[in-house]
Structure 1
Amino acid sequence: MSAEAIAADPTTPGVFRTPTLPPARGPLSQAVIDLLSSDPESASVTDVPAVVHDADPYGDDLQLALYIAYEMHYVGFVEVDVAWEWQPALLSLRAGLERRFLDALHRDVPAAAENQSVQSEMDELCIEDLDGDGASYFLRDNGTWEQYRQMFALRSLYHLKEADPHAWAIPRLRGQAKASFVAVEFDEFGGGRGRAVHQELFADLLRASDLSADYLGYLDTVPAAALTPVNLMSLFGLHRRYRGAAVGHLAATEITSSPGSQRLLAGLERLHAPEACRHFYREHVEADAVHEQILRTDVVGDLVRQDPSAEADVIFGIRAFLFVEDALETHVMSAWERGESAFPGV
Structure 2
Amino acid sequence: MNALPEARGPLSGAVLEAVAAGPPGSGRPVVAPGPPSDPWGEDHQLALHLCYDLHDRGLAGVDPDWEWDPALLAFRRELEVPFLAAVREQAKPAERVGDALEQLLTEPVDGSGPSHYLLAEGERWQAREYLVHRSVYHLKEADPQLWMIPRVHGPAQAALMAVAFDEYGAGRPDRAHALLFARMMADLGLDPGYGHYLDRVPAPALAVVNLMTLFGLHRSLRGAAVGLFAVVEVTSSPGSARLAAALERLGAGPDGTLFYREHIEADAVHEQLMRRGVIGELLASEAELEPDIAFGIAAAEVVDDRFAAHLLERWKAGRSSLRSPLPDGPA
Using the size of structure 1 for normalisation, the TM-score is 0.91
Deviation at residue 117 of structure 1 after TM alignment: 1.4
Tell me the matched-pair count: 324
Alignment of 1:152-191 (within 5 A): 152-191=131-170
**Paired residue for 1:345, among 319, 325, 329?**
325
**Alpha-carbon separation, structure 1, partners of 2:252 and 2:121:** 14
Report the counterpart of residue 32 of structure 2 in structure 1: 48
Q: Secondary structure at the match of 1:25?
A: coil
Deviation at residue 78 of structure 1 after TM alignment: 2.0
Deviation at residue 49 of structure 1 after TM alignment: 1.9
Q: Could you give the per-residue CA deviations for residues 140-185 of structure 1, whole angstroms, max 9, x where no partner exists? A: 1111111111101111101101100000100011111000010000
Q: Residue 19 of structure 1 contacts residue 217 of structure 1 at CA under 8 Å; is this kept in 2?
A: yes
Q: Does 1:100 align with 2:79?
A: no
Q: Could you give the per-residue CA deviations for residues 192-235 of structure 1, whole angstroms, max 9, x where no partner exists? A: 11111100000000111111101011111211111000100110
Report the counterpart of residue 310 of structure 1 in structure 2: 289
**Paired residue for 1:66, among 45, 48, 51?**
48
Q: Does 1:239 align with 2:227?
A: no
Report the counterpart of residue 208 of structure 1 in structure 2: 187
Deviation at residue 44 of structure 1 after TM alignment: 8.6
Q: Residue 251 of structure 1 contacts residue 318 of structure 1 at CA under 8 Å; is this kept in 2?
A: yes
Q: Secondary structure at the match of 1:191?
A: coil
Closer, same or farther: CA 271–78 of 1 in aligned 2, 3 Å: closer
Report the counterpart of residue 279 of structure 2 in structure 1: 300
Unaligned runs of 5+ in 1: 1-17
**Alpha-carbon separation, structure 1, partners of 2:18 and 2:30:** 11
Q: Does 1:20 align with 2:3?
A: yes
**Alpha-carbon separation, structure 2, partners of 1:168 and 1:178:** 11
**Paired residue for 1:77, among 59, 64, 67?**
59
Q: Residue 159 of structure 2 contacts residue 273 of structure 2 at CA under 8 Å; is this kept in 1?
A: yes
Q: Residue 43 of structure 1 contacts residue 89 of structure 1 at CA under 8 Å; is this kept in 2?
A: no
Q: Secondary structure at the match of 1:220?
A: helix
Q: Could you give the per-residue CA deviations for residues 295-346 of structure 1, whole angstroms, max 9, x where no partner exists? A: 0011001111111111111111111111101111101000111111222432
**Alpha-carbon separation, structure 1, partners of 2:158 and 2:9:** 43
Q: Which amino acid aligns with 2:98?
A: Q
**Alpha-carbon separation, structure 1, partners of 2:185 and 2:33:** 37
Deviation at residue 279 of structure 1 after TM alignment: 0.8
RMSD between superposed Cα atoms in Å = 1.4
Report the counterpart of residue 245 of structure 2 in structure 1: 266
**Alpha-carbon separation, structure 1, partners of 2:260 and 2:102:** 23
**Alpha-carbon separation, structure 2, partners of 1:81 and 1:270:** 45
**Alpha-carbon separation, structure 2, partners of 1:251 and 1:193:** 24
Q: Could you give the per-residue CA deviations for residues 121-143 of structure 1, whole angstroms, max 9, x where no partner exists? A: 10000110233111111111111
Q: Residue 45 of structure 1 contacts residue 88 of structure 1 at CA under 8 Å; is this kept in 2?
A: no
**Alpha-carbon separation, structure 2, partners of 1:103 and 1:152:** 29
Q: Does 1:332 align with 2:311?
A: yes
Q: Does 1:118 align with 2:102?
A: no
Q: Residue 14 of structure 2 contacts residue 30 of structure 2 at CA under 8 Å; is this kept in 1?
A: no
Q: Which amino acid aligns with 1:175?
A: G
Q: Secondary structure at the match of 2:230?
A: helix
Report the counterpart of residue 8 of structure 1 in structure 2: none
Unaligned runs of 5+ in 2: 327-331
**Alpha-carbon separation, structure 1, partners of 2:64 and 2:33:** 24
Q: Which amino acid aligns with 1:73?
A: H
**Alpha-carbon separation, structure 1, partners of 2:251 and 2:50:** 37
Alignment of 1:279-294 (within 5 A): 279-294=258-273
Deviation at residue 45 of structure 1 after TM alignment: 6.8
Q: Residue 19 of structure 1 contacts residue 76 of structure 1 at CA under 8 Å; is this kept in 2?
A: no
**Alpha-carbon separation, structure 2, partners of 1:41 and 1:132:** 52
Closer, same or farther: CA 26–44 of 1 in aligned 2, 3 Å: closer
Q: Secondary structure at the match of 1:320?
A: helix
Q: Residue 136 of structure 2 contacts residue 198 of structure 2 at CA under 8 Å; is this kept in 1?
A: yes
Using the size of structure 2 for normalisation, the TM-score is 0.95
**Paired residue for 2:12, among 2, 12, 29?**
29
Report the counterpart of residue 151 of structure 1 in structure 2: 130
Alignment of 1:189-228 (within 5 A): 189-228=168-207
Aligned residues with identical type, % of pairs:
47
